[in-house]
Structure 1
C-alpha cells in the first residue's frame, strides 16, 4: 500500500498538533494513516487505500459510516435550524425518555459532552451525595482522562499514584484500585475503608484492557458491598452502553442494577456526547435541583440529541442487534479456530459486537469445550485457569507483538484494527458475511 500522502500530512501535523494527533490512541508506528471518508463498513485513507473498518470511531458507529435515512434526516433538520441555543429543546427530552424506558437502572439523566465528562460528573455526584471522598476503581479500568481515575497501584497494592504527570498526589490519595474479578481484594478494601467509600466505579466488562469478562458473581459482590456500606455502585457503560445487551445495556445482560451509569459513544449517534443516569434520588443532587454543580455550554446539543434518539429508535425497530451480534459470534468463533491451529496460546475475547485477540503466552492442555465465541470466564472451559482475569493478565501478554507485527500485517491486508493490544474492536450494522470471511483469511495469513 502507498501511504505517501498520509506521511506528508503527518509531517505537517507534527508542527501544529501535539504528537501530530488529537487523541493519543490515534498514533501508530511509524505514523498513522489519515482518513478521507467512510463507506459503510469501510474506511478510505488519504492515499485511496480501502480498509474493512473494525475501529468504528472507537465504538460510536453502531451503523458504520452510512447512517440510516431517519438518522441523517434528523441531523440535517436540526443542523439547519441553527447551531445551538443555550436553551432546552424537545429532542433532549425525547432521548432521555427513550433511555429511561429501556435501561433498567436509569430514572433520570444529565447529558454532557463526552464519556470523560460523564465519569468526572458521576464521581463528583457520588461524593456529593454520600458526603464521602474515596472511590474504588479497577486496576486497568479506563474512565476517561480525569484526575480521579488516572492512577496506578504502588507497592501497597491498594495505594495509588497518579499515572500521568500533571496530577497531584492528593487526587490519587482518594482513589483505591483493586484487581478486577478479585472478590477477596475488594472485600478487604471495604472492610478497612467502607465508611469512607463514596462509590465503586467499574466497567461491566473491561473494554479498554483487552476485553475482560467478569467472573460469575463478581458484580453481585460489588452490589452487596455497596449496599452494606452505603456506597454507590457506578457502571461505566461508555463502551458497552447500547452495544452489549442491546437497549438494556450490559447491566441488563448481567442482571445487576447500579445506582449510576455513565454513557457515551452510541448514545450520541456518532456525535460528541456523554450522559450520567441513575436513580432519581441521586441524580437530582445535580444543580439546579440539588447542590452538586454540573453545567456545560454544549450539553444536550440538539444535533447530537437528534442523532442519538434516531439511532436508538432505529436499533429498536430493526434487526440491528441480531445482525451485529451474529457477525460478532461468527468472527470470534472463526478467529478461535484459527488460533487453535496457528497460535493455541492466544485467547479470543469479546461478546455481542465487541472482539479482540489477546496474545496470551500459555496454551491449555485440551481444546474441547472451549468458549466458542469469546472468553466468558466459564469455569468448565479448559482455558479458564489461564485466560485473562484482570488487567495484569492482559499486560503480561505479548502486547508489543500486536502493534509491532500483527497490526501492521493486517493493515497491509486491508483490515483496520485498533493499533494496540488493549482497545476493543467493533462490528457494525454495515459489516457483511463477506467482510468477516475476508477478515478471517487475513488472520490466517498474519498469524
Structure 2
C-alpha cells in the first residue's frame, strides 16, 4: 500500500505536536500512523486512498458506524445550524437526561461533562465529597482516564504514580488491586475501610485486552462496599449502551452501582462524558451541593442531539441485534481459527466487543497481569501490520478493545476472518 501522504503528514505533525499526535495511543503504530481522510459505513479511507475495514470505530463511540442514519444526521445539522452554544441550559440536554434516567437502572439523576476522563475525575471527587473519605480502590489495568487519582501502578502495599507530573502523595490515596481478586479487596477494606470512599471498576476491563468478571465478583463488590458505607462506581465509558443494550452492562450483570460514569456512545461520536447515579449523591454537585463541578461546554447542544438521536435510533431499530449477531459471528469464527492455528491464544469479548489476546497458555485472562504477560510485541510489531496490509484496521496495540458497529456487514466479517487466517 502506498502511504506517502500519511508519512508527509506525520512529518509535519512531529514539528508542531508532541509525538506527532494528540493522544498517545495513536502513535503506537510503527513506523508512523496512517492519517484518515474520511469514514464510510464500517470502513475508513486514509490520506493515500487506502480503504480499511474499521474495527476501531473511534475507540468505541461509533455504534452506528461512520454513516449516520438520516434522522441522526438531520438532528445534528439542525442543532449546529441554530448556533454553536449558548452558556445557558437547553431543552435537548433535558431530553437526553430523561432518556438515560429512563433506561439505566442505577441512574436517578445525571450530570453531563465533556469526556470520559472528566466523568471519572468528577465521580472520584463526588465520592470523596459525599463520604468524607479519601481513598479509592481501583483494579490494576483498569483505565479510568488521564486523571491523577487513577494513573497509578503497583499494588496496595507499594503504589506510585504511573505518569510524571503526579505527586506521590496523590497516589497514596489510591489502592490498586487485581481484577477478580476478592481477597485483595477484602484486605484493602480490613486495613483502610474507614477511609475508602469508593471502589471504582469497569464492569469488563476494556483497555487491557478484554477481561471478564468471574461469577459473583461484582456482587461481592456491591456487598463489601455496602458493608463499609463506601460507594460502588461502575466506569461504563466503554461498556455503556454497548453491553446490555440501553440498560448498559450493569443490567447485564444485574448489579446496581451507586454511581456510573459514561462517555463514548452517550454522545453519538461527539466529545462527551457523564456521571449518573443515586439522586442524593448527584445532588451533591454544585450548585445544589458542596462538590464543585462545572464546564463551559458541558451539555453542548450538538453533542446532546447526537447522543439522544443515536440512542433513540438504536432503541427503535435492529441496531443491537445486528451488532450482537456480527459480534457472535466474529468471535465464533475467530475461535475456530485460533483453535486450528494458534491454540495458545484466546478470543475474548461480548456483544459488540472482540479481541484475540496472544496469551501463552490458551487460558482466558483473569486480570491485567495475564494480558500484560501475553505476546504484546508480536501483536503490535508483526500481527497488526499484517492485518493492515490486508485492509483490516485493528486497535493499535494488544490492550485496546475492538468494536462492531451498525455500519459493518457480513462481508466485512468474512473478509476479516480470512485476514486473521493469513496473519495468524
TM-score (norm 1): 0.94
Matches within 5 A, 1:214-363: 214-363=213-362
Q: For the residues of structure 2 that align with 1:80 and 1:388, how far apart are their CA atoms?
A: 48
Moved over 4 A (4+): none
Contact 2:6 2:47 (8 Å CA) reproduced: yes
Contact 1:158 1:178 (8 Å CA) reproduced: no
Contact 1:159 1:176 (8 Å CA) reproduced: no
Which digits, 9 at most, give the CA deviation of each residue in 1:396-426, with x for residues without a partner? 1001111100000000000000110000000
1:160, distance to aligned residue in structure 2 (A): 1.2
Contact 1:13 1:20 (8 Å CA) reproduced: yes
Partner of 1:169: 168
Partner of 1:20: 20
Partner of 1:368: none
- Structure 2: state its 5+ residue gaps: none
Q: Does 1:437 align with 2:414?
A: yes
Partner of 1:86: 87
- Structure 1: state its 5+ residue gaps: 364-385
Q: Does 1:37 align with 2:48?
A: no
Contact 1:240 1:250 (8 Å CA) reproduced: yes
Residues paired across the two proteins, number: 423
1:252, distance to aligned residue in structure 2 (A): 0.3
Q: For the residues of structure 2 that align with 1:387 and 1:358, how far apart are their CA atoms?
A: 9
Which digits, 9 at most, give the CA deviation of each residue in 1:240-279, with x for residues without a partner? 0000000000000000000000000000000000000000
| Partner SS, residue 355 of structure 2 | strand
| Partner SS, residue 110 of structure 1 | strand
Q: For the residues of structure 2 that align with 1:412 and 1:359, how far apart are their CA atoms?
A: 20
Q: For the residues of structure 1 that align with 2:4 and 2:349, how far apart are their CA atoms?
A: 35
Which digits, 9 at most, give the CA deviation of each residue in 1:221-249, with x for residues without a partner? 10000000000000000000000000000
| Partner SS, residue 43 of structure 1 | strand
Contact 2:348 2:364 (8 Å CA) reproduced: no
Q: For the residues of structure 2 that align with 1:53 and 1:132, how far apart are their CA atoms?
A: 44
Partner of 1:124: 125
Q: For the residues of structure 1 that align with 2:186 and 2:321, how far apart are their CA atoms?
A: 38
Q: Does 1:409 align with 2:386?
A: yes
Which digits, 9 at most, give the CA deviation of each residue in 1:289-343, with x for residues without a partner? 0000000000000000000000010000001000000100100110010000000
Contact 2:327 2:353 (8 Å CA) reproduced: yes
1:362, distance to aligned residue in structure 2 (A): 1.1
Matches within 5 A, 1:95-106: 95-106=96-107
Contact 2:151 2:163 (8 Å CA) reproduced: yes
User: Which 10-residue stretch deviates more, 188-197 or 239-248?
Assistant: 188-197
1:126, distance to aligned residue in structure 2 (A): 0.2
Partner of 1:194: 193
